[in-house]
Amino acid sequence: MYTYEQLHQFATQIFIAIGHEEDLAKKASDVLISADLRGVDSHGIARLKGYVRLWEVNRINAKPNIRIVHETPSTATVDADAALGLISAPIAMKIAIDKAKQVGSGWVSVKNSNHYGIAGYHSMMALEEDMIGISMTNASPLVAPTFGKERMLGTNPISVAIPTLHQTPFVADMATTTAANGKLEILQRKNLDTPLGWVQDADGNPTTNAHGVKEGGALLPLGGDREHASHKGYILGSIVDIFSAVLSGANYGPWAPPFVSFMDPVADPVGEGLGHFFGAMRVDAFRPKEDFLRNMDTWVERFRKTAPIDTDNPVQIPGDYEREMEADRRINGIPLLAPVIADLKELGEKFGVTL
């Protein structure tokens, strides 16, 4: 078990070691370790090595000049200058929030960026301002569109955070595939099969092979097959791709640069780096704040009271799981798997940082 502070400090020192100023390194760690805290282990410190490797192949700029390159009162496009997405994303979300303060809502697309951690960190920045926050990103192509056998989209997550008065806020953070890659990795480690509807093989046949994606197959869009409306998952992933990357001028669809350093980005890019998209809407841009927040409390209370199929298994509000994980891990610490600890120790030795 490690404390939040231990992991945060370690990651910060690594980010400094690869050339970041201390304030940027700390911000990157805030985003990265929030994933470990919230139980999204696949997106936390386990990825630190991956970011360092991207830096080693000159795909991360540790001294970025992150700037607005196009704007209107309610919108902006940000050039992340090849920064860690962990750094460019909160800066872009802050621009969206500032625009919302001025004109009611703010919408920011980002190009020339990299993997931005968990989508929910950024959308949740809006909550303390009594705004609705929206966050999405495109990602390494692993997903086949309905009827296709080629990997054309990433798991392209969508996060929406909505404030409440006294109730727990509504915080959705979901991949637009049936299963996120992290879930597959768990089954791979345990040598278990997946349910049908998560993965297809290299010929496009349904498979239960948890290694199917690595063997040339693809993740399936939310819905899983045409009969269960996988075209809707394909639509959602496409919208995320277009808002994040076509709107900003990043690489879209199959051109999205891979997160792994051993795969080179495509030789004929259609844009710059990876793309994100953020939104912030002041709730009092639509009605008096208290009215909205009180109604949201009623919404949350009423949905919790939905007649359950099984009384031991009540209907949940989006964000419940992550909130419970965070409450537990702040007190009891964050568990890490042995291979992750080994990776971190190796990283530490390389850069003279102790865990």
The residues in 236-295 that bind a second copy, with binding defined as CB under 8 A, are 236, 238-239, 241-243, 246-249, 252-254, 270-271, 281-283, 285-287, 291-292, 295
Judged by CB under 8 A, which stretch of 5-13, 33-41, 120-128, 169-177 contacts a second copy? 169-177
State the minimum distance, in angstroms, from the CB of residue 127 to a second copy. Answer: 14
Judged by CB under 8 A, which stretch of 27-35, 105-113, 261-269, 347-355 contacts a second copy? 105-113
Q: Give the Cβ contact number of residue 121 at 10 Å.
A: 28
Cβ–Cβ under 8 Å, residues 114 and 64: no
User: Which CB, 127 or 174, lies closer to a second copy?
Assistant: 174
State the minimum distance, in angstroms, from the CB of residue 176 to a second copy. Answer: 8
Cβ–Cβ under 8 Å, residues 1 and 10: no
Cβ–Cβ under 8 Å, residues 194 and 210: yes
Cβ–Cβ under 8 Å, residues 194 and 208: yes
Q: Considering only residues 106-165, where is the footprint of a second copy by CB under 8 A? A: 107, 109, 132, 144-150, 152, 160, 162
Judged by CB under 8 A, which stretch of 31-39, 45-53, 304-312, 331-339 contacts a second copy? 304-312
Q: Considering only residues 71-100, where is the footprint of a second copy by CB under 8 A? A: 71-77
State the minimum distance, in angstroms, from the CB of residue 327 to a second copy. Answer: 20
The token pair at 149 is: 């056998």
Pairing of strands 218-219, 199-200: antiparallel
User: Which CB, 69 or 327, lies closer to a second copy?
Assistant: 69
Cβ–Cβ under 8 Å, residues 186 and 270: no
User: Which CB, 20 or 43, lies closer to a second copy?
Assistant: 43
Q: Considering only residues 178-237, where is the footprint of a second copy by CB under 8 A? A: 178-179, 195, 197, 203-204, 222-224, 227-229, 231-233, 235-236
Q: Considering only residues 30-59, where is the footprint of a second copy by CB under 8 A? A: none
User: Which CB, 26 or 183, lies closer to a second copy?
Assistant: 183
Three-class SS state of 285: helix
d(CA 282, CA 268): 40
Q: Give the Cβ contact number of residue 305 at 10 Å.
A: 10
User: Which CB, 49 or 304, lies closer to a second copy?
Assistant: 304
Judged by CB under 8 A, which stretch of 46-54, 207-215, 313-321, 338-346 contacts a second copy? 313-321
d(CA 214, CA 323): 32
d(CA 349, CA 355): 10
Which backbone phi and psi does 110 adopt, to 5 degrees? -130, 135
